[in-house]
Chains A and B, each alone.
Chain A
Amino acid sequence: MSQKDLMKDWFKELPSEQPSPDFTVKVMQRVMTEWTLNPIKYQPIIGKKGWWIMGLVALLVTSLLFMLHSSSPSETVTQSKTIYGLDLMQLFAPVSHLFEKLNSISPAVAIGALAILALWFFDQLFVKTVKH
């Protein structure tokens, strides 16, 4: 046996030094305190910037569709506009149909829906202000 191994053996004979029995409990208490002080912060999947971009894109698409719809005379509805082989009129037909339906909504219903949306918006705003 080499000399190094002898020293190793002698060290292994030394009794292991143990901390107090409640060592783990003490550490975990401190860990939990740390955790309460710095909890894992909620990070939304889509950030504020993302929502803004999505909103702008949605607005752009809606405006485009609206312009497309209003520029097409009713008698030429059957005429097809194609871009790269895609029949736009056919593609946007369901959306166009929706706009037509929206046009037929009575002003009272529209104002009611807008009021509900505004109430919901102010409620969310109020909840956020109270939390911070």
Chain B
Amino acid sequence: MEKKTDEYYIREILKGDSGSFSQLVEKYSHLAFSLSMKILNQREDAEEVAQDAFIKAYNSLSSFQSSSTFKTWFFRIVYNTSISRLRTRKNIEVKIDDLKISDVEIQATENAIGQLNTEDRQKYLHIGLERLEPDERALLKMYYYDDFSMDEVSVITGQTVSNVKVKIHRSRKKLLQELRLVLKDEIISIL
């Protein structure tokens, strides 16, 4: 079947064809779920939030301005819905950022990760990401996995571009620090 643009489906939905929304759900479900999962780290919650985000998008589709892409607009809804859900959770552990990793150690960690096989790299990267704060995971996911530009991440999160740049840089550094702790033995043996 010929794939139509997001704008085409949006026009059809606004004309009254609600069924066209399923095309957008099919297209963005895994990306929405995956972002929500990175923030909430709980499958059931992430799925519920992704569904809520789709419903919110459906209900406010008439307010969608084509000045931004549907993807960016929708991801903003997913991000905000996930953050709101996160805030409702009780006993959120607040970690104090303490980046102690030096540039030399960063380089060594990157080299070590580079030498791991794909399966191990996936495993350790997953563990490292688990240790980050939800918004840090989300920023790294959007930038490195979903290929959003800094400007787009800024639109999605509602933060300034410079703030996003700093946060992505810090999150990346923190991820490498966590990976260094996880891989300590391997790194030592490599060094």
Contacts and interface: CB of A to CB of B under 8 A. Distances in A.
A103 interface: no
> What are the 5 A-B residue pairs with the smallest beta carbon separation, nearest first?
A11-B144, A19-B33, A17-B34, A11-B145, A27-B54
18 contacts: A6-B110, A10-B121, A11-B140, A14-B145, A16-B30, A18-B33, A19-B50, A20-B47, A23-B25, A23-B29, A23-B50, A24-B22, A24-B26, A26-B51, A27-B25, A27-B54, A31-B18, A34-B55
B33 A23 contact: yes
Tell me the dominant secondary structure on chain A's binding face.
Answer: helix
B73 interface: no
Contacts of A116: none
Contacts of B144: 7-8, 10-12
B138 to A, nearest CB: 13
A3 B113 CA distance: 12
Contacts of A10: 113, 121, 125, 144
A90 B157 CA distance: 72
Interface of A: 3, 6-8, 10-20, 23-24, 26-28, 30-32, 34-35, 40
Interface residues of B, number: 34
Contacts of B147: 8
B34 A31 contact: no
Contacts of A3: 110
Contacts of A23: 25, 29, 33, 47, 50-51
Interface in B114-167: 114, 118, 121-122, 125-126, 140-141, 144-145, 147
Interface of B: 16, 18-19, 21-22, 25-26, 29-30, 33-34, 37, 46-47, 50-51, 54-55, 58-59, 110, 113-114, 118, 121-122, 125-126, 140-141, 144-145, 147, 172
B34 A16 contact: yes
B35 to A, nearest CB: 9
